[in-house]
Amino acid sequence: MSTQEGSLKYKILIGVLAILLIGLIIYTVSMYKDSKNTVAGLEQQRVEIQKELADLSDEYDEIITENELKDEELIEAKSRIDELLKEVEKSKANIGLIQRYRAQINQLQAERKVMFARADSLVKVNEQLVAERDSTSRALSESQRKLDSISMDNEELSKRIGKAMLVTARNLTANAIIIRRSGKIVTTKRSSRADDIQACFTLNANSVANEGERRVYVQVVNPMNNILGKQEVIEGEDQVLFFSKSINVYYENDDLDVCILADAAEEDLIPGRYVINIYDGIEQIGTTTIELR
């Protein structure tokens, strides 16, 4: 009997140990899964924080770029966000970091309200300046309209006389332009983006003017009163004129469309009012102005 009892006790002990071992395995697996879930959850929070920071940086970039604001506090606030975003992108998620990043985001969100209120104030000031500039532009446009009207009267007078030799111009327009890599030209109002100044106009038909090659000059004067381009020189009877550039055209007494680039240097393209004059030899045949931001 004692032998059987000893065997039974041994079997019971083995069973208990087996149950404990199985329980330990189940607990270990459960703890491993919980650990993986915790790591995955922290990583998901890190990704969400990264997205919030990127969105916040984009909001700053949009309000600064679209409204052309150069406020140092706005730019410095965006810089802090970008630096924190870089740190989050490189970090490995843990509870301490996630809590710190979340606290910093809450602080940045609160700061955003103050900064964007400041931006709105700056935008209103800019809008007032634009309104004043537009008023000046309208006055210049009215002067241009009157000049065009005078030019038309001169053309009519020239037709009546029938002996005028001067070739006149009409439809003079000038624009700051961007030259794409493809060669395509687009206009812009921003001096910082412009590659050059282009003047386009029409030489009027004149049956009594000299037919053949004519040299047409463009003179572009920037807001600092500097003549852009290579500054070609032509001498008249009692004057010396400097020009930005000239081209030869073949005139056949009919309307002739002409466009000239000033070949402006980048440093000469600055914000402000530009005066563009067109000459046929020494004779001025057109003038206009443009305003660049």
Structure tokens that stand for 237 in this block: 């009877």
Stretch 158-184: mean pLDDT: 78
Stretch 108-118: mean pLDDT: 63
CA–CA gap between residue 213 and residue 30 (Å, rounded): 93
What is the pLDDT at residue 14? 72
Amino acid identity, residue 109? Q
More confident residue, 272 or 57: 272
Alpha-helix runs per DSSP H in 190-276: none
Most confident of 87-91, 127-131, 227-231: 227-231
**Is the separation of the CB atoms in 234 and 243 below 8 Å?**
yes
pLDDT range class, residue 32, cuts 50, 70, 90? very low
CA–CA gap between residue 158 and residue 167 (Å, rounded): 10
List of residues 6+ apart from 66 with CB closer than 8 A: none
What is the pLDDT at residue 223? 93
What is the pLDDT at residue 288? 93
Residue 66 has pLDDT above 80, yes or no: no
All CATH 2.60.40.10 domain ranges of the chain, comma separated, are 162-292
More confident residue, 140 or 289: 289
CA–CA gap between residue 101 and residue 78 (Å, rounded): 16
Residue 27 has pLDDT above 60, yes or no: no
Residue 193 has pLDDT above 70, yes or no: yes
Structure tokens that stand for 36 in this block: 């993986």
Model-wide pTM > 0.75: no
CA end-to-end span of the chain, whole Å? 109
List of residues 6+ apart from 263 with CB closer than 8 A: 196, 228, 229, 230, 244, 245
Stretch 73-93: mean pLDDT: 72
What is the pLDDT at residue 33? 47
Consecutive H or E run containing 274: strand 272-280
What is the pLDDT at residue 34? 44
pLDDT range class, residue 116, cuts 50, 70, 90? low
CA–CA gap between residue 155 and residue 206 (Å, rounded): 9
What is the pLDDT at residue 162? 46
DSSP character string of 71-106:
-HHHHHHHHHHHHHHHHHHHPPP-HHHHHHHHHHHH
Structure tokens that stand for 203 in this block: 């030489």
Most confident of 50-59, 106-115, 140-149, 216-225: 216-225
pLDDT range class, residue 137, cuts 50, 70, 90? confident
Stretch 57-76: mean pLDDT: 66
Most confident of 7-16, 105-114, 135-144: 135-144
Domain 162-292 matching CATH 3.30.43.10: the answer reads no
Structure tokens that stand for 255 in this block: 């309307």
On average, the pLDDT of the chain sits at 76
CA–CA gap between residue 109 and residue 103 (Å, rounded): 10
Hey, which residues does 183 pair with through a beta bridge?
none
**Lowest-pLDDT choice from 16-30, 102-116, 256-270:** 16-30
Helix or strand or coil: residue 251? strand
